[in-house]
Amino acid sequence: MKTKYIFLFAALTALTVNAQTQYDAFRFSESELNGTARFVGMGGAMGALGADISVMSTNPAGIGLFRGHDFSTSFSFNNTKVGSSFGGVTMNEKKNNMSFDQIGFVYSSKIGNRTTLRYLNFGFNYHKSNNLNKLFSAGGFLDGLSQTYQIANMIGGAVGSLSEIDDIYNYGDINGVSNPYYNSYYPYLGVMGVRTGLVGITNDNSALKAWNGDHNYYNSREEGGIQQYDFNMSFNVQDKMYFGVTLGVYEVDYRRTTLYEEYIYDKVPEFEKPHEGFYQLNNTHRTSGTGFDLKLGAIFRPIDDSAFRFGFAIHTPTWYSLTDTYNSSIYSDITYQVLDKEENVVKEEIDRINENVYDYVGGETMQDYRLTTPWKFNVNMGTVFGGIMAVGAEYEFAAHNHSKLYYYDGYAMAEQNEIINKDVKGLHTLRLGMETRITPAFSVRAGYNFSSQAFKKTAYKALASNDMRTDVEYNNKYSQNTVTVGLGYAGRIFYVDLAYKYNIYKSDFYPFSDSALTPASLTNERHQALITLGVHF
């Protein structure tokens, strides 16, 4: 087996953990541009312009600009494409899906024309805060690097002696050996590696060893996302100042299924042919739960004869209560070269082993935990030129490096939070938008978004040496750009809006952690076509 050796040291922790990572924290802290087709067509830069249902999720005060009731619903078609380049091999995957994206209403209550408080408005809006549907594949040549080295390193950091490796391997064959998955020191992936022959012991019984990797293949299917329900109350004060508050309620339903396949070998000097084979690591992961936050906003029109407005909004953290559910299995198929001393010939022996955690722990692995996302700060401005062109601009900052993970009992995951602070960056987002009326009923729109890089280039997923998680892959996201265009028709009562959104960003994907591993370069693209149907009265 492999020439990389892993020496043993005693584990320092007493309980097997199922630790969340910086990648989990960011996934449920990030939001995307979505909502009504008008809002999307203008790049979401409507915080100061207001009078669109979707602004209650960015600047709640924008609902205060409504002077009548409004109801709308939106649908979209999504095309997600991910292209990968790794080890000299390129791959492309596409996924299409239809989506129900938004439904909401505003009830506008006029107080008076000369009163200080002119309008008191109430609103509700549902929309998809983050659509996580994605399919991608990556794979190529490894030049001797292997995921099995990381697996061996994990179990090597948990066992105290090589005799424990024998006990793990022989569980079920030797009486009196306890179930290795119930040992609080052992990582599940390490146990699976030993049980399937991916981790062994050197011939001199001095250290652990793993395999050389020839080439690999990875496939991931992600589904679901975050649903957001906003409840808004807003005020119009003398048609000059607008204030609003939004209570946001969130529902998380995220599913990921992954397959990692690696072809492995070990050159043995005494044999002409190497030991060789392959293995498949399958993981299923689901996150479900709920959360809530509060958004406060204000808009000011400082000049009586000008349409110019500026505003700001503060979003509290979203307080999530989440549950992760996992299951994993490894199938290995390895051919060994064995010397038959009686016949003095080399024969091949084939080991085919399937190891499923579900069979040993009596079900899927689950953990309840809490996530607190960062505060967000938004400043915005907008104006109207000649009564026919509206322009808006927004800047938003979210300190994602200050997201916090907690165990369900409220105790902080100190080590994970330290990693979040070290590996994740504060996120800067710029939104620009324009709308021009070409006839009294028809308008055209355009928008642009830029979001800064989310992860430092040195970020990596560090699972604990006694972790129950077996998904070692991770994806470091770079800055992203979004371009939008739109078209709108507004009748006396009914209106219809169309929008197209194109989003693109690069990322580095690592199927496992190794300082010598060059990541797969991913290009992530999403095309979205939206339609909104609405009435105002």
What are 279-302's pLDDT values in tens digits?
A: 999 999 999 999 999 999 999 999
Please report, rounded to a whole number, the percentage of residues in the chain having pLDDT higher than 90: 83
Residue 177, pLDDT score: 63
* Mean per-residue pLDDT of the chain: 93
Distances, alpha carbon 396 to alpha carbons 285, 455, 471, 508, 524, in Å: 31, 17, 32, 25, 23
Q: What is the pLDDT of residue 176?
A: 58
pLDDT for res 269: 85
pLDDT of 33 over the 60 cut: yes
- pLDDT, tens digit (0-9, with 9 covering 90-100), for 221-278: 999 999 999 999 999 999 999 999 999 999 999 999 999 999 999 998 888 899 999 9
User: What's residue 462's pLDDT?
Assistant: 83
DSSP character at residue 341: T
Residue 285: the pLDDT is 95
Closest CA to 84 of 140, 42, 129: 140
Task: Return the higher-pLDDT residue of 13 and 51.
Answer: 51
Measure the N-to-C terminal CA separation of the chain; round to a whole number of Å: 75
- Reduce the DSSP state of residue 65 to 3 states and report it: helix
Angle at CA 442, nearest 5°, toward 439 and 446?
115
- Average pLDDT in the 158-169 region? 90
pLDDT at 4 over 70: no
Lowest mean pLDDT among 63-67, 202-206, 471-475, 480-484: 202-206
Dihedral sign, CA of 450, 452, 455, 457?
Answer: positive
Whether the CB-CB separation of 495 and 486 falls below 8 Å is answered with no
For residue range 372-420, list pLDDT tens digits in order: 999 999 999 999 999 899 999 999 999 999 999 999 999 999 999 999 9
- More confidently predicted of 344 and 503: 503
As a whole number, mean pLDDT of residues 109-117 equals 94
The pLDDT of residue 344: 81
For residue 12, name the pLDDT band (cuts at 50, 70, 90). Answer: very low
Provide the pLDDT for residue 132: 94
**Mean pLDDT calculated for residue range 349-378:** 93
- Report pLDDT digits (tens) over 68-90: 999 999 999 999 999 999 988 99
pLDDT at 204: 83
Q: What are phi and psi of 429, to 5 degrees?
A: -125, 130
Least confident piece of the model among 180-184, 334-338, 398-402, 531-535: 180-184
Residue 318 phi/psi, 5-degree rounding, is -90, 125
- Four-way CATH pick for 34-144+214-265+278-325+369-536: 1.20.1440.230, 2.60.40.10, 3.40.50.1400, 2.40.160.60: 2.40.160.60
Neighbours of 506 (CB within 10 A): 14
